[in-house]
Structure 1
Amino acid sequence: MLTAAEREQFRTQGYVIRDALDADTVARYADAVERARSERGERGRMMNLQFLQPGKDVRTIQEVICQPALRAIAADLLGEGIVIDGASLFYADAGVDYRQGWHRDLMQVPDEQIDPHWFSDDYRYNYVQVNIPLTDDPCLWIVPGSHRRPYDEAERRIFGTDPRIAPVDAQPELANGIQLVLRPGQAVFYNNYAVHRGYAGVLAQRRITIHLGFHSRLHAPTCHFGVLDHREYTPEYLASLAPAVRTALEEHIAERARHPEVDQYHAWHQQFISKEFEIR
């Protein structure tokens, strides 16, 4: 799916952007999200909806985890044997003030578990994150290439004593940070150990963005695998799903059984998102 140049861009810069969903699919997914929120009486102005979990499921958009092009690109980046892991829907109304500080995705990891080797050119990070907006999305900023090195001088200055996340209003701005403005239906695949942030100021329009994570069975899990709460996937729930979605979740369950240590990763992740995306 990816050209040699695109694979090299991902390796060196930490991200690559490709078209993923056509306009009809984008419209169908966005309508399904609004209907699901209305039917469940959800009123949160900003929320993170884990759409594969019972009670939070949005059946129409679940099929995205099986989308052949997305999985093929993930395989180009990680290797064959792709397993779905993260599956969230970021939702925010127009008028929400959305600002995060610059960070690597380490907020959930205890200090003693952080290994400086993670941020080096020869580390095999067996995970890729994917943002697929259903609306125009200007929120993702990234420092290209920063996943391959420790913090530089400018980054150390703004991070100060907290290596996880810089203050939202930290100055001066990172000169090497770039804004990735995505159109509906595009997908950005990125290494979440790159320095990045979600930042838009006051949103001019609603934001609906699908957020996925993929892992490869060819390699050991790294500390972001284990996002889905597989304990909720009862036989009854799995039987109610579309066949391809059910198969994808069964593959996830089997991979979790091979690597029970990732249950701790799951606990760290849930603790983090419960604070970061509370209903407002």
Structure 2
Amino acid sequence: MASFNHNLDSLKTDGYVILPNQLSSELHKSLRLAARRTRKKSWPHVRTVGKQFPPWPDASTANDVWGIQHILHPDISERAFEGWYASDAILDTVEAILGVKEEELQLELCNMLVNPENTSFELSWHRDAIPADATEEEETEMLKTPNFGTQWNTALVDDECLEVVPGSHRRVRTEAERNGQIEGIKVVLKAGDSVFYDHNILHRAVYPTRPERLTLHACMGSTRADNQRRKTILQHGMGWVKETEFENPRLESLRKRLVVLEPEAVGYTLVG
């Protein structure tokens, strides 16, 4: 427990923490095979090269992609993803980070980040819940909002695509950062490592066409979440969740909590 408390301290101070070797060899192999199968599937819900934020166009109009959305969708039909998202390792970590019990956790996003096949792509520096055009005063207020969720990347092959500015989740941007002059560090993950990070940390990702990237990218929240967090999640198009019932009982409980708590005031719903 003392070691994990150190990890929590690092997350609070730096805005991110690397947890090495979180996967058993058997689960790691199953996830890697499932990820490569999913990468080859014809799937409409993708993140397209050239566009950073949702909504993204249908895959049929995309020349290249940097992410696969909704990998828990029953039509993807890969049980390894379901078991991983609702595993002891993930749920115990999320409970510790958020300071809640499993009964208060809700399903959110579960996607996969991949290398584009033909065109390299870079995301701009950003925070996930604070728009780039926020004034210093607006940013100050938004940074005071309690964080009702956490997000993480789990690398299935070695990954050095994510870059972060340590400690930036606790302060407003400098004038230089507002002008795009940002110096970050690479987050170096070995296959099987996870990085948990604060959604307010300044970060970006660089997507070369090689080497292969197979990184699971997910978030999970508390049922205490406010409307800002729900809006951030629901804008990704979570309508399919309402029509789904998972056989995995822990995952199904997470799903039910999201459906029950669907807000009506954020401009996005689980319908359609």
Alignment TM-score, normalising by the size of structure 1 = 0.74
Classify 1:21/1:145 alpha carbon distance in 2 versus 1 (closer, same or farther; 3 Å). Answer: same
Asked if 1:188 corresponds to 2:208, the answer is no
- Indicate conservation of the 8 Å contact 1:139/1:179, yes or no: yes
Choose the corresponding residue for 2:30, options 28, 31, 41.
Answer: 28
What is the deviation of 1:25? 1.4
1:233/1:119 Cα in 2 relative to 1: closer, same or farther (>3 Å)? closer
- Matched to 2:175, the amino acid is E
Residues 195, 265 of structure 1: alpha-carbon distance in 2 compared, 3 angstrom cutoff = farther
| Aligned residues of 2:66 and 2:114 also touching (Cα < 8 A) | yes
2:130, 2:200 within 8 Å by CA — same for their partners in 1? no
Distance change >3 Å, CA 116–CA 265, structure 1 → 2: farther
Cα distance in 2 between the residues matched to 1:13 and 1:46: 27
For CA contacts below 8 A with separation 6 or more, give which structure has more relative contact order.
1
Which of 122, 135, 141 aligns to 2:157? It is 135
Structure 1 residues 131 and 227, CA gap change in structure 2 (3 angstroms): farther
Letter in 2 for 1:231: G
**Alignment counterpart, residue 104 of structure 1, candidates 116, 127, 131:** 127
The residue identity in structure 2 corresponding to 1:248 is: L
Q: 1:16 to 1:97 in 2, by over 3 A?
A: same
Q: Call closer, same or farther: CA 1:22–1:93 in 2, change over 3 Å.
A: farther
Change in Cα spacing, 1:134 to 1:118, as seen in structure 2 (3 Å) is farther
Q: TM-score, normalised by structure 2?
A: 0.76
Structure 2 residue matching 1:185: 3-state secondary structure: coil
Cα separation, partners in 2 of 1:208 and 1:140, compared to 1, 3 Å: same
TM superposition shift of 1:98? 3.1
- Structure 2: give runs of 5+ residues left out of the alignment: 45-58
2:69 to 30, 49, 55: 49
What is the DSSP-based 3-state SS (H/G/I as helix, E as strand, rest coil) of the residue aligned with 2:108? strand
Question: What is the RMSD computed on CA atoms of the aligned residues?
Answer: 3.3
State the partner residue of 2:223: 217
8 Å contact kept, 1:136–1:182: yes
What pairs up with 1:111-190 in 2 under 5 angstroms?
Answer: 115-118=138-141, 120=143, 122-158=144-180, 174-175=182-183, 177-190=184-197
The whole-number CA distance in structure 2 between the counterparts of 1:248 and 1:29 is 21
Structure 1 window deviating more from structure 2 (59-68 vs 184-193): it is 59-68
Q: What is the Cα deviation at residue 152 of structure 1?
A: 0.9
Report the equivalent of 1:89: 112
**Letter of the aligned partner of 2:7 in structure 1?**
E
Quote the Cα distance in structure 2 between the aligned partners of 1:75 and 1:191.
15
SS in 1 for 2:215: strand
Secondary structure at the counterpart of residue 55 of structure 1: coil
Match of 2:268 in 1: 264
Residue 115 of structure 1 and its aligned partner are, at CA, apart by 3.7
Q: 1:151 to 1:102 in 2, by over 3 A?
A: same
| Structure 2 CA distance for partners of 1:13 and 1:204, relative to 1, 3 Å | same
Matched-pair contact (CA < 8 Å) for 1:143–1:194: yes
Assess if the C-alpha contact under 8 Å between 1:50 and 1:87 holds in 2. yes
Query: Take 2:239 and 2:71, find their aligned partners in 1: how far apart are those partners?
Result: 15
